[in-house]
Amino acid sequence: MEIRPIRSQADSDAAVAEIERLWDADPGTDDGDKLDILATLVEKYENEHWPIDISRVDPVDMLNYLIEEGGHTQAELAELLGSRSRASEILNRRRALTVEMIHAQHRMESSGGAFDQALSIEGCVNESGSQRQGAGSRISRNLF
């Protein structure tokens, strides 16, 4: 596939098919570079055509969604956060996510920190660790 701007849904579909073909390419190779460029183009196209209003997504709802859709469990979240009770408190809204929790997950995450991306980059947690009311996140492919 020749790399060119994505201007239509058909262009986007073709780019996504090529991304899937190149998914396991090693970074720094021609295929790895092509994968990076195509992913950037698709992301730009999707953000322009289907923007997500992140101010309306609740971080705990997003976390529950990522766990469920990713086929994960609360026990896996507990491993990332250090205890089952902490995971339960967060999911039941009795404890706010802290920056430290997000960073701990990010260090354990080999694919770029989906939890970090879904919660901290979008401003769901402030530096003191308090959740902002109504703050949201972007849907991410994987939680763990």
What six digits make up the tokens of 14?
A: 């073709």
Residue 56 DSSP code:
G
- How many CB atoms neighbour CB 53 within 10 A? 7
Residue 116, pLDDT score: 45
Query: Rounded to 5 degrees, what are φ and ψ at 131?
Result: -75, 140
Q: How far apart are CA 24 and CA 76, in angstroms?
A: 25
| Prediction pTM value | 0.47
In tens digits, the chain (144 residues) has pLDDT values of 899 999 999 999 999 999 999 999 999 999 999 999 999 999 999 999 988 777 777 778 878 887 888 788 888 888 888 889 998 999 999 998 777 776 665 555 444 445 544 444 334 443 444 433 333 332 333 333
